[in-house]
Chains A and B, each alone.
Chain A
Amino acid sequence: MTKTSQPKSHASKADSSNDLAVTGADAVLRVLEDLGVEVIFGYPGGAVLPIYDALFKRNSIRHILVRHEQAAVHAAEGYARSTGKVGVVLVTSGPGATNAVTGLTDALMDSIPILCLTGQVPTHLIGNDAFQEADTVGITRPCTKHNYLVKQAENLVPVLYEAFHVASSGRPGPVVVDLPKDIQFAEIDMGQVEPAKTKAVSRYRPVMTPDADAIRQAADMITSASRPIIYGGGGIINSGDEASEHLRELVALTGFPTTLTLMGLGVLPSEDKHFLGMLGMHGTYEANMSMYHCDVMLNVGARFDDRVTGLTSGFSPHSQKIHIDIDKSSINKNIRVDLGIVGDAGIALKMLVDEVKKRKAAIKKDALSEWWKKIEEWRAVRCLEYNQTGDIIKPQYAIHRLWQKCKDNDVYVTTEVGQHQMWAAQYFGFNAPKRWMTSGGLGTMGYGLPAAMGVQIGNPGKTVIDIAGEASFMMNMQELSTIAQYQLPVKIFIINNEWMGMVRQWQELIHGGRYSESYSASLPDFQKLADCFGMKGLVAKVTDDLDPVIDEMLGTDGPVLVDVRVAKEENCFPMIPSGATHNQMLLGPNDKAAKPVSEEGMVLV
């Protein structure tokens, strides 16, 4: 089908008589165009210059020039998560590829479809410690769903199609394709594209449709429950919007209490009366207590993460557990379940709704209303209540106000990592899937700003807000330049407590208040920072400033950087302390003495 020719003759070969013959670089773009790719997030360098040249000549796909390759991947993640499409990244060899590693790991942990193209030194130099050579497939093997090194030109097109397919199907994830420079110059016969496309999907075929018997069994189990709970996760969002609709139908049909993971927020509207709030370490009291006391648990598209379970030996001890997941390896990994069902969340939920409809009469209405009474008692604890008095802005209040001012519009929120992230999850409500982008699995500070860029590019005209901590913001703040270049109207809402707040909180609770290296010293003047990038900067210093500042931020067409000076030593509650079970939540600052963190708990992250 194709031949790898010597470097010098490449260009002329590509211009040869066969008009289906193109250069490797050109083939890369043609494949991406064919796959419907609209935008690439990238950064050039020697080993990808042929592809950049092709980008320039073809002018068919938009390229967003970031300021750091990590940000390229996070931007692609934001784009992917908010649109449901694959995020595409292009970086050079060596440092370009190694800079992308954090983003790739983040995408792996949160199951985000990413196709990352990396340049590589020419094949004859691989292994020679050539300039800007890194063993990219070796380095990225554990942080990708799959990766490829294209060593033969004839493999280029098939590999690209398969890589895209692998990234986007089954449990989505990042896929790296490493492209040596000579392959980018090689002659490729585009006449062979159709067979390559067929083959691309033939090798990797994840199970989508679950076993019908298992679904019937699940329907039997949940309809005969006295204290049921639905626990939904990011898998529902990844499955597509219909999956959320089916879940909503199931909730409406059964009247079952429902909780969502950090990654699943938006699957059920935050104000739905069946919604107990997020569960887990900083989830609500009612969500965690209901998880603990339930008798049947239906987990759809969540993975019993340790931030959700607390101490696993005491996790929901009296329940029968059903787990629906597209990834068989997530089932029985952390928590042993009674019924594991492998399949796509949307398809499974649809089938389950149909089966539950047939059994609707079996639902134990009396037991269920008893159960709801119990849950209302837990709700009455009002675990998210905070006290906003005086001039000092409470971080919870800042986010709560932001939400109240956004709630009637379709806004998109990203976050960084830390207390502000948890407060955002607690106090900002979401009514639809794909509106909430946060680094859940890896907890990557510096995610939110570039992710917001990607969200904005995927959703032009929509309001996109990065709820940030000042320390996290500074991890990728070079991206202000990208935001300025493309005039992305991203709103950066910094909850500025002058501390790495989450670190400070753990030091207070677990390390005797020894605040080792967790102070955010030498902060810039954020208003001036905004100014020097040509964007609007605002500051809210006291409570009365807050509403006008939020209004001005939301009313501004361009990018805005807001510095919200908040109470410095506020802690994030409620909290399952590490090493405790999920029914042993700390509800507030006065709770901590009663239940000190155990020694085993101290070693946990």
Chain B
Amino acid sequence: MSQHMNNDEVRHTLSILVDNEPGVLARVIGLFSGRGYNIESLTVAGVDETKNLSRISIVTRGTPMVIEQVKAQLDRIVPVHMVRDLTQQGLHIERELALIKVVNKGEARIEALRIADTFRANTLDSTLESFVFEVTGSSSKISAFVELMRSLGHVEVSRTGVSAISRGLNVDMPIRTQNETKD
């Protein structure tokens, strides 16, 4: 009766608000590795200094039942304050930043610059035989850019992983405004 479930794997982007304390990232990562969940991308940084909170963005993949599990398991971790499933909530923005170094000569350099321009990449560094570009955008845009660069020379890539937030005026994970007093 209740056994029929959807076994297709889907990609979900989660935002997690955590206390910025030692070991918290290890707890989150350990949960994923210990229970065999996927992590496609993970980013973390402090977002609220007064409350000492960090925000983790995780892109994971799994069946709907597994995604529910992931969220419930994350929610059990003591320093986790909030778990939001941006994919489930609907409209949201996902961005990634990447630094791409391409080493090449001649015609390929001009082509690289032209492509960088169409991707609105910034040129952060150049030598006679190399560029470092900065690109922001969706993960697929960055992957596309990297692919093109690969055909134009030796390439090195550093990507930040996905950072995400919902659209519209809902503030899911408010941080303390400046005039709020300490409790």
List A residues at the B interface (Cβ < 8 Å). 137-138, 141-142, 145-147, 149, 151, 166, 203-204, 313, 315, 317-321, 327-329, 331-333, 335-338
Contacts and interface: CB of A to CB of B under 8 A. Distances in A.
Nearest first, the 9 closest Cβ-Cβ pairs linking A and B are A329-B72, A328-B72, A146-B78, A336-B2, A329-B73, A338-B2, A204-B78, A142-B34, A336-B5
26 contacts: A141-B23, A141-B26, A141-B27, A142-B30, A146-B77, A149-B22, A151-B22, A203-B79, A315-B3, A317-B3, A318-B1, A319-B2, A320-B1, A321-B2, A327-B76, A328-B72, A328-B75, A329-B72, A329-B76, A332-B65, A332-B68, A332-B69, A336-B2, A337-B2, A338-B1, A338-B2
A122 to B, nearest CB: 17
Specify which of B2, B26, B27 lies most central, judged by the most chain A CB atoms within 10 Å of its CB.
B2
A272 B29 CA distance: 47
Interface size range on B against A: 20 to 34
A97 to B, nearest CB: 16
Contacts of A327: 72, 76
Given A141-B26, A142-B34, A149-B22, A329 B75 contact: yes
Contacts of A320: 1-2
A166 B79 CA distance: 11
A151 B78 CA distance: 19
Interface string B84-121: 00000000000000000000000000000000000000
Contacts of A328: 72, 75-76
A149 B26 CA distance: 14
Contacts of B75: 328-329
B1 A319 contact: yes
Contacts of A319: 1-2
Nearest to B76: A329
A212 to B, nearest CB: 21
Contacts of B19: 203
B23 A137 contact: yes
A321 B2 CA distance: 8
Contacts of A315: 3
A321 B79 CA distance: 32
B97 to A, nearest CB: 31
Main secondary structure of the interface of A (DSSP, over half): loop
B69 to A, nearest CB: 6
Contacts of A203: 19, 78-79
A142 B73 CA distance: 12
A336 B64 CA distance: 11
Interface string B16-44: 00010011001100100010000000000
A271 B36 CA distance: 43
Nearest to B27: A141
Nearest to A202: B183
Contact of A336 (B3, B34, B73): B3
A329 B69 contact: yes
B22 A331 contact: no
Given A147-B23, A318-B1, A332-B65, 14 more contacts: A138-B26, A145-B78, A203-B79, A319-B1, A320-B1, A328-B72, A328-B75, A328-B76, A329-B72, A329-B76, A333-B69, A336-B2, A336-B3, A337-B2
Nearest to A204: B78
A321 B22 CA distance: 40
Contacts of B30: 141-142
A333 B69 CA distance: 6
B176 to A, nearest CB: 16
A137 B27 CA distance: 11
Contacts of A335: 2
Nearest to B77: A146
A335 B73 CA distance: 16
B5 A166 contact: no
A331 B72 CA distance: 9
Nearest to A329: B72
A137 B22 CA distance: 10
B95 to A, nearest CB: 30
Contacts of B5: 336
B65 A336 contact: yes
A295 to B, nearest CB: 9
A331 B1 CA distance: 16
Nearest to A338: B2
Nearest to A313: B3
B32 to A, nearest CB: 12
A315 B1 CA distance: 10
A464 B154 CA distance: 73
A370 B76 CA distance: 43
B75 to A, nearest CB: 7
A337 B68 CA distance: 13
A250 to B, nearest CB: 22
A151 B30 CA distance: 22
A149 B23 CA distance: 10
B90 to A, nearest CB: 22
A138 B3 CA distance: 38
A313 B79 CA distance: 36
A181 B69 CA distance: 39
Contacts of B26: 138, 141
Contacts of A333: 69
A393 B26 CA distance: 53
Contacts of B23: 137, 141, 147, 149
Contacts of A338: 1-2
Contacts of A332: 65, 68-69
A327 B23 CA distance: 22
A147 B23 CA distance: 9
B50 to A, nearest CB: 16
Contacts of B3: 313, 315, 317, 336
Specify which of A203, A315, A332 lies most central, judged by the most chain B CB atoms within 10 Å of its CB.
A332
A317 B2 CA distance: 8
B115 to A, nearest CB: 45
